[in-house]
Amino acid sequence: MKPDNHILIIFGASGDLTKRKLLPSLFELFDRDMLPERFVVLGVARTKFTGEGFRKEQRENLKRFLKSGEPADKTLDSFLERVHYVALDTDDAREYRLLAEKIAEIRRTEDIPDKLLFYLAVPPQNYERIADALRETGLNRAQEERGWRRIIVEKPFGSSLETAQRLNRHLCSIFGEDEIYRIDHFLGKETVQNILVLRFANQIFESLWNRNYIESIEIRAEETLGIENRGKYYEGAGALRDMVQNHLMQLMGFVAMEAPSAFDAELMRDEVAKVFRSLHPLSPADVIRGQYVAGEVDGKPLPAYREEQGVNADSTTETYVAMRFYIDNWRWGGVPFYFYTGKRLAKSKSEIIIHFKNVPHRLFTGMCTQDSCNELVLKVDAPESISLKFGLKVPGSFFEVKRVSMDFAYDSLCNTYIANAYERLLLDAMQGDSTLYTRTDALELSWRFIDPIVRAWAEKPAEGLVFYPAGSEGPMPQGDQGDVLCAK
């Protein structure tokens, strides 16, 4: 079913996120006839574009960033007819009358009901100012009986528990909790959504999904890229805030949650919040933080983090985090969970690995005598896939066992279009489905979990910071660090 006819207002329309992700995703939805009949994108930014100038700019961006290749001119023209633009200073509440007038004009000429979806594709420090201006202009509340308002907020949502709570209170004083969509693009990935189906639709997995059969669980989000000219942002975030607090925590919530009584957004989010409430408190000894120094890949020199643009020469910001933690409930009691995330590593890797326990008595020789034969690997990044690993006899040998893999790749579904994360999440917000969006309580609980580490590192910035060469596997286990860094 298509969403209601509405207007999508993108703040930060001249920025990188809009041209690389949002408009290409909206075009793909349009091309597959998944947008409503009367739908308009209204870009808002300070750049002095005319409507025609903005459309011309986005035409070139779409040709450049569409993953499906260059679109037909006729289709591109039809889509861009729906794209409008208004230039205003988003810091000046008085200028929002221009936005209100433009919205009223579009609604009148396009016959669109009083249904508005706002997307804040802007730096976090602008969230409160924009929300305040929308309230002062009256745009935060629908004036028609069946109208609605929704607002999508990008990460980072706060920089600590205190700032996240303050931002939540502020936004909830302007919009209802059910109108606020805190986006995490990781949750829009096909493999992440399939965690729920894999578990709750298959007895062969769900019956083993507990402390009796699982040795440990690791969740990885590792990159070969550096900070990519985002030095100023990264200095204020670091890997713990940038990746752990949102992406990895949300993935863990899906892996560890109990089955809800029905497939309902609030019931699903209830179960994730229950997991976060059961987290055993962290201590600095449970977390390793690292920072990359100069290195080399394929003969090409790579700079140290402290040499990157916008980074302090004596920065102690972490570019790598490894941590071990536990969930204090009956399903997961005693099972260690591990997070790994970092920049400038040897391989890009986003995956969830379920390490099952070994058999109680080892009859055979080979690889499976040291490690468990059984692992379930969910690859989150492209190419997305699921692999089940188990032991089999080596042909011709005398019962020597090697681990083999049974693999499923999503791109093998050649007749099925696989939407990207932003396509899925944008469409969900248009339809009012908040299943894959973070709720206030879960957000604050995740901040509460990592806040002791944030404070400890702030009090002693250099203590415990280890260094690893760019292009390497990351910090090597040393002494007591080994238990935190090694999942097996």
247 part of the active site: yes
Tell me the C-alpha to C-alpha distance, in Å, between residue 317 and each of 187, 313, 320: 26, 11, 9
375-379 vs 349-356, strand pairing mode = antiparallel
Catalytic position from the list 247, 280, 355, 361: 247
Cα–Cα distance measured from residue 112 to residue 37, given in angstroms and rounded to the nearest whole number:
10
**8 in Cβ contact with 119 (< 8 Å):** yes
Query: What is the DSSP annotation of 310-367?
Result: T--TT----SEEEEEE-B-STTTTT--EEEEEESSBSS-EEEEEEEEPPPSS--SEEG
Rg from Cα positions in the chain: 24
CA 408 to chain centre: 23
d(CA 135, CA 138) in angstroms, rounded, equals 5
Instruction: Dig out the tokens for 8 from the structure.
Output: 């999508």
Torsion over CA: 5, 269, 127, 80 (sign): negative
Determine how many CB atoms are found less than 10 A away from the CB of residue 72: 9
> For residue 143, how many other CB atoms are within 10 A of its CB?
8
Question: Hey, which residues are catalytic here?
Answer: 247
